[in-house]
A and B are shown apart, each in its own frame.
Chain A
């Protein structure tokens, strides 16, 4: 049995990454993510891994994609301004199907914004930050322990589906300290990408068009294959045939759709009989949970739905709840981003109220409770 330990969210993310087999980190320092880089710089050389501080975030994501192509498990961590710089190459990882993990510890934006304060303004950027239709998975831990668990999961998803996976935390989750009992390494599920059997006849992008994932060869193992950000056919070489592009783009999209049932993850409390459903993620969900408990204590039938997978969104579960509840409240530290998705998913079955906070402060439970009460009249 591992002992309980006091640790920070950023540290838990790093430990999760190491437990999942992280052996390459490239990054550029930025508050409030920097502890992740510092810990990686310290730990990776001890385990045969590599750390490099690149000249910027564009280079950081480029370097981890290069490392991943040689078979390494690679990660970077950043915050808003750096996440913005990474976008072009996140699209590259998507189209070239290179597994990488990106941790975005959100701070108040846009621009340099408020570096040391929490926000949740990167929800849509994490989904749509790079141009074009593209596959991506975004996970959102709601406490320190989940920073560990969801970073392990992020690596597993990246490896199984050959995707860029974003772990979206924020300044509060990243810097908050909690007592955590980490799972034994032997109890962890750790996935590794499927590799081809032998170089002969290897077609690097040959896969079932219905969301298949092609085996991934490592560079330097005799496969001698080509990787490009241009649309390519199953040989990996560029093609500008419309039908090739169409099939390829749809396969990438299908890949995430098919993965959804296996990767979907959410937490609920008191949703069995609730009238008022609070939907929140990350640190907003911590305040929401207290608010829901206080509401229950006051006899109000409130419940919490907290997605841990936010892209793709756990639609089925929320839709089912939306049919039953009278109203949905969405507290977010932004001006309404996840709310858009919740409005879409709930399909107006229940009215959705947005509760926004963008002053760089965490929600107080009372603020959410007030919204619950206001609506519960």
Chain B
């Protein structure tokens, strides 16, 4: 236990999340994965955007950066490219990552920059009290979908894979050990990794859609989640109404900041007589 607690800023607790919210469970899984890997506290940076989920880094004892809505990955890109030796983790919500931050999400994936992204997907905009998000399933209710959401939702795993992420997993706040295990593997992948963590929002999603309290919502996850390995031998009708959890994709590829450094090394070798910024630039003017 103390091994895990040392990664928390205990004086920042208690947290702001509602009773029964799943975000704390996901944060716990991340911290246990970090503890298991014995990561150096001084070499981890956790970045977030805006939302309930994005408050998580404030409770963690690393260098932590709480940015603007949707932009965590862009800030994190600057940090990682500057300091490839640091372990950079992004904690984000479904709205933060896939609506306002969707562009940064696909481009971080395309670059395969070594950032571990934990998307806390409660299928709703929690912080602004329950509007539908790009991850709200069709037909469900939100304060801005009073007659049922008419939009289709993203499949985040497929989106991440198509955009170029090299490690993708999904679990829920019910499947905590699976979640922790996926986060651990994601942290080990040298490249852009996404772990989608389905979490319950009893206050808005649950109440609005009459899904019951946190326990019922967790049971909903339990009843519908099928591990991808088990799904491989299941018939399509058995999979009807279910969703997959587990390791969805794991295909390492060259990582962006390493590729940039390799390019820069080559350039520097070519310009080995080069003495500094200004002198070299002069060659470019006409």
Task: Give me the interface of A with B, judged by CB distance under 8 Å.
Answer: 5-8, 11, 14-15, 18-19, 22, 24, 26, 39, 42-43, 45-48, 50, 52, 54-56, 58-60, 62-72, 74, 88-89, 92, 182, 185, 219-230, 237-238
Contact = CB atoms under 8 A, between A and B. Distances in A.
Contacts of B285: 5-8, 11
B237 interface: no
Q: Is the interface of B mostly helix, strand, loop or mixed?
A: helix
Given A220-B42, A224-B41, A229-B68, A62 B277 contact: no
Nearest to B106: A55
Nearest to A232: B66
A-B CB proximity, top 6 nearest: A66-B78, A18-B277, A63-B78, A62-B74, A59-B74, A45-B264
B175 interface: no
A234 B64 CA distance: 15
Nearest to A55: B107
Nearest to A26: B78
B260 A50 contact: yes
A237 B13 CA distance: 12
B104 A59 contact: yes
B77 A225 contact: no
B43 A92 contact: no
B251 interface: no
Contacts of B42: 220-222, 224
B77 A63 contact: yes
Interface stretch (B25-33, B80-88, B134-142): B80-88
Contacts of A11: 281, 284-285
Contacts, number: 169
A15 B277 CA distance: 7
- Candidate in B42, B43, B47, B79 with the most chain A CB atoms within 10 angstroms: B79
A15 B67 CA distance: 30
A226 B58 contact: yes
B282 interface: yes
A69 B82 CA distance: 9
A219 B278 contact: no
A86 to B, nearest CB: 11
Interface residues of B, number: 47
Nearest to B286: A6
Given A19-B277, A59-B71, A227-B65, 18 more contacts: A24-B78, A26-B78, A43-B281, A46-B268, A46-B274, A48-B264, A52-B260, A54-B107, A55-B103, A59-B107, A62-B75, A62-B77, A66-B65, A66-B78, A225-B64, A226-B66, A227-B64, A229-B66
B263 interface: yes
Contacts of B75: 62-63, 65-66
B61 to A, nearest CB: 6
Contact of B74 (A6, A19, A58): A58
A39 B284 contact: yes
- Candidate in B104, B271, B274 with the most chain A CB atoms within 10 angstroms: B104
Interface string B19-53: 00000000000000000000001110101000000
B14 interface: no
Given A43-B281, A56-B103, A220-B63, A70 B71 contact: no
Contacts of B66: 226-230, 238
B267 A63 contact: no
A363 to B, nearest CB: 27
A65 B274 CA distance: 29
B280 A67 contact: no
B63 A219 contact: yes
Nearest to A62: B74
A199 to B, nearest CB: 9
A67 B81 contact: yes
Contacts of B62: 224
Nearest to B274: A46
8 contacts: A18-B278, A46-B264, A52-B81, A66-B78, A224-B63, A225-B63, A228-B66, A238-B66
B258 to A, nearest CB: 13
B127 to A, nearest CB: 12
A70 B285 CA distance: 32
Interface string B105-140: 001000000000000000000000000000000000
Contact of B276 (A55, A59, A74, A185): A185
Interface string B249-286: 00000000000100110011001001011101110111
B58 A72 contact: no
A72 B84 CA distance: 13
- Candidate in B74, B78, B103, B282 with the most chain A CB atoms within 10 angstroms: B78
Contact of A63 (B45, B81, B271): B81
B281 A15 contact: yes
A52 B280 contact: no
B79 A226 contact: no
B158 interface: no
B93 interface: no
A69 to B, nearest CB: 7
Contacts of A219: 45, 63, 65, 79, 83, 86
A66 B72 CA distance: 9
A47 B277 contact: yes
Given A15-B281, A219-B45, A69 B71 contact: no
Contacts of A63: 74-75, 77-78, 81
Contact of A238 (B58, B82, B104, B277): B58
Given A11-B284, A226-B66, A22 B78 contact: no
Given A15-B278, A45-B264, A237 B63 contact: no
A142 B284 CA distance: 23
B104 A55 contact: yes
